[in-house]
Chain A
Amino acid sequence: NAGVTQTPKFQVLKTGQSMTLQCAQDMNHNSMYWYRQDPGMGLRLIYYSASEGTTDKGEVPNGYNVSRLNKREFSLRLESAAPSQTSVYFCASSERGGWTGNQPQHFGDGTRLSIL
C-alpha cells in the first residue's frame, strides 16, 4: 500500500521550460490537492479536485494547470517555468471531499523543483 506517490522526486528546469508533476493515490480517495511549500510560508494550495472530473483554483493558481486524469491520478503542469516557482510541491488526497472537511489529508513525499 503505497499511499500517495509523486514523481519525480527532484527536478531542475530552465526558465521557460515546461513540465508535468505526477501524483497517484491508491486509497480510492475522492479528493486530491496540490500544494507548494516555501520557507516561512507554510503550505499554500495551488489547485484541488473535489472529485473525479472536477478541479478548482486554490490560493496560488497562476502559472499552473491541473488535470484529474481519473480517480487515482492528479497532475500539475507548469507551462513556462519561472524562478518564482522554485519550491517543494506536495500532492495530497482525502477520502471524500465536502465542505465539512472532516477528513485527514494524506501527503506524498514531495517533488523538489528548482528553476534556474
Chain B
Amino acid sequence: SQQGEEDPQALSIQEGENATMNCSYKTSINNLQWYRQNSGRGLVHLILIRSNEREKHSGRLRVTLDTSKKSSSLLITASRAADTASYFCATALSSGTYKYIFGTGTRLKVLA
C-alpha cells in the first residue's frame, strides 16, 4: 500500500473558497513534500516541510505537519480556477534512502 494517502480523493469548491487536503503516512519520515499536477503534465514541487517543523507558508499555501499523528495538511487559501489540479504528498523515508513515496493524490476542481 502507499506510504502516503491523501484525503479526500476529490474536492470541488467555488473560486475564492479555501481548499484543505490531508495526507497520512505510515512510517517515520525525514521530510514531506507537496506537489501539484495539472492535467497531462508532470508534477511541480510546491513546498517542503521538515520533520522538525510544524507549519510552513508559501504565498497562498499553508502546510502543517503532525509527526505524532503521521499526518500533514495542505491549505490553499482564496482558491482560483488555475488551482484546479491533482495534489500529491511525497515522503522521503528516514531509513537512509533516496526513495520518495507518493500518495494517491487529491483531485481539486475550482469552479469559476
Q: Interface on A for B, CB 8 Å cutoff?
A: 4, 31, 33, 35, 40-45, 48, 50, 56, 58-59, 90, 92, 97-102, 104-110
Q: Which of A56, A97, A108 interacts with B42 by CB under 8 Å?
A: A108
Residue contact B45 to A42, C-beta cutoff 8 Å? no
Q: Is the CB of A43 within 8 A of B88?
A: yes
Q: Are B41 and A42 in contact (CB under 8 A)?
A: no
The verdict on A42 contacting B30 (CB below 8 Å), with A100-B92, A107-B43, A108-B42 known, is no
For chain B, which range describes its interface: under 10, 10 to 19, 20 to 34, or 35 or more residues?
20 to 34
Complex Cα spacing A42 to B30, Å: 20
Whether B45 and A105, one on each chain, are in contact in the complex, defined by CB atoms closer than 8 angstroms, is: yes
Most buried by A among B43, B48, B90, B102: B43
Q: How far is the CA of A97 from the CA of B105 in the complex (A)?
A: 24
